[in-house]
Every structure is written in C-alpha cells, then in structure tokens.
Amino acid sequence: MQIEFIRQRLRALGAGPIHEQRVLRDWVRARPHDQVRRRLDDFFPKALREALPALDVELHGLARLLSSHPTEDGAARLLVGLNDGQTVESVLLPRGGLCVSSQVGCAVGCQFCMTGRSGLIRQVTSGEIVAQVALARMQRAVKKVVFMGMGEPAHNLNNVMEAIELLGTEGNIGHKNLVFSTVGDVRVFERLPQGVVKPALALSLHTTKPDLRERLLPRAPRLTPRELVELGEQYARLTHYPVQYQWTLLEGINDGEDEMDGIVDLLKGKYAILNMIPYNTIPDLQFRRPSWEHARDILRRLHRRGVLTKLRDSAGQEVDGGCGQLRARAIADQPRSIAIHPA
C-alpha cells in the first residue's frame, strides 16, 4: 500500500485535492475525521463518505501493535505486525521521538546488528511507514521521526521519500525533525536535495578506518569515511542542518586513541554532531558494550578537542530489545508446523 495508490483511490471516489489532503492528514495525525470544523456530510463527496469507514479500517490495519516493551527512561519498543504477517520494530523515544523501520530485514549486513542477520525479506511500503507513525500517535504525541529502525532507507528510497514528503507536509512534523539515516549510498546525496521535504541526515560512520569499515559494514557502498563526510558536509551546508554521524561504540574495536585522533581529523570544523551509542549487546555476537565511564571519557576528550559529541543510549537495552531482537525473538517463539504426509 503506497501513498500514491491511496491518493488514486481517493480520486476515484470523487475526492478533490482538498478532500484528499483532509483524509491523509487525519490518518497521519491519528485524529477522528470529525475533530475539525467542517462536517463530513457538508464537505466530502457522497461516494467518498460512503467508502471512508472501510478505507479507515484498511489504513489503520497497515500497522498493528503486537506488543509493547517500555523501559525506565520513557522509551518503548513496539513490535508491529504488517498485513502479510511480517513484523517490524518501531521505538517510541523520550521527548516525542519515534524510530521507524523501512525494510523487513536488511541487506547491508552490519556485523554488530541483529536485523542484518536475516538479510532483506521485503521493502516496507510508504503507507506502512506512515502507518507506523499513525500507530505510535495513538500511544503518545510524536514530534520527530527518525528512519533508524530495521532496514537501510537508501535501499527503499522511493517509499521512504514518499513517506517523508507526507509526514513533512500533512504530518505536522518539521523538516529538520525528519531524520534520514543511511550507511552512505551515493543516491541519497543526489535524491534528498530534490525533495519537497529535505530531511536532516544521519550517516553511519562507526570508524575512521576504511578497511575496518568494510569489515564492519561488508555490503555498504565502498565510500571511505572521508568521502562520506565530504558528501555529508555538502548536504549540511545546503539544508543548514548539521549532519548527525552515528558511531556504535564497540569495546576494543573502535574506542581507542587512534580512532579519537581520526575523528578529530575528519570532523573538527565540520557542520556536524557525532552521536556515540554504546553497543546494544546481542548475546551470541562477539562484540561487547564498553563501560559508561569509558564512553564518558571519550566524550570529554572529543569535546576538549573541538568535536561536538553526544553520548546516547540505545533504547531497549534493558528489555533485550535492540533493533531486530524483538522480531527475532517473536519468530523464535512461533510454533513450528509439522507436515504429515500420507503413507
């Protein structure tokens, strides 16, 4: 269910641009149609009025809440069911944020990520992306949407950009509060500046060493960290939003003094924020989460050397809900059918 397909259905029911806008706006804002001043009977064409209840059921059914896992800091991991039985994860963040998924699975195969272990199963449609926002708004207010859940948004660019446009025009979300996260596909830097809505950009950096980045992100585009930062800087200057560089902090791998020197060399003087996120432990992987004391020490040293750095926790650590873990656990808990063949 793509947003353009929904628009076509509305037009086929006699909707003009203003009616189409009203239906989509009510949906993405999770509000009843009668909450605004103009009554449906006086405003919508008859065919649209008659079809609207069934269409509402269909739109709300694009994303269903299967389970919610709250944490002490006010976040909540949501396991979301899609129409075909697949599941994705959304995360309600403190202070009105929401993290959404753009794919079921992921093809990048980051070595420290649970989602990438399943490979890419399918794309999430633009309607399903927006439906995650509408579902979250039934739980609490959402003022910011980050595309940092399951999947690589650059590998589902058309659907993600269509969702971003609707969220930024009808969803009452500021453009800089829509955050497109990517490992660094060059198509992103060509496409994002052309959009009606130009989101903020988050780039997964994780290391300043090209060879280590290739090992950690084996199927990411072959951009060096320096090339990635140069492309990010161009977009930051165009949009006047600083780029957020994401750095999953892995004990003994990318938390040494040599990496700190590399960060200063790459990011000092750039229109950038470095988000350091201590690794969200997955029991059967080799990577380990460094101590908070060590992470804070890195933060202080980078600040002193002129790099704006923020230390962030990965929501869901305490409920074993790192991205992809809820879905993996739900799949593991499903009863397995046994085929019985006649003799």
**Which DSSP symbol is given to 153?**
G
Asked if 89 is an active-site residue, the reply is yes
Q: Which of 4, 58, 89, 165 is catalytic?
A: 89
Asked if 323 is an active-site residue, the reply is yes
Residues 129 and 100 sit within 8 Å (Cβ to Cβ): yes
SS3 content of the chain, % helix, strand, coil (to 5): 45, 20, 40
Residues 269 and 231 sit within 8 Å (Cβ to Cβ): no
Write out the DSSP string of 298-322.
Answer: HHHHHHHTT--EEE---TTGGGT--
User: What backbone phi and psi angles, to 5 degrees, belong to 29?
Assistant: -95, 0
Report the alpha-carbon distance of residue 274 to residue 246 in Å, rounded: 6
CA-nearest of 98, 96, 134, 145 to 1 is 134
CA-nearest of 181, 175, 130 to 157 is 181
Residue 282 makes CB contacts below 8 A (sequence gap 6+) with 112, 114, 322, 325
Amino acid at 158: N
Q: Which residues are catalytic?
A: 89, 323
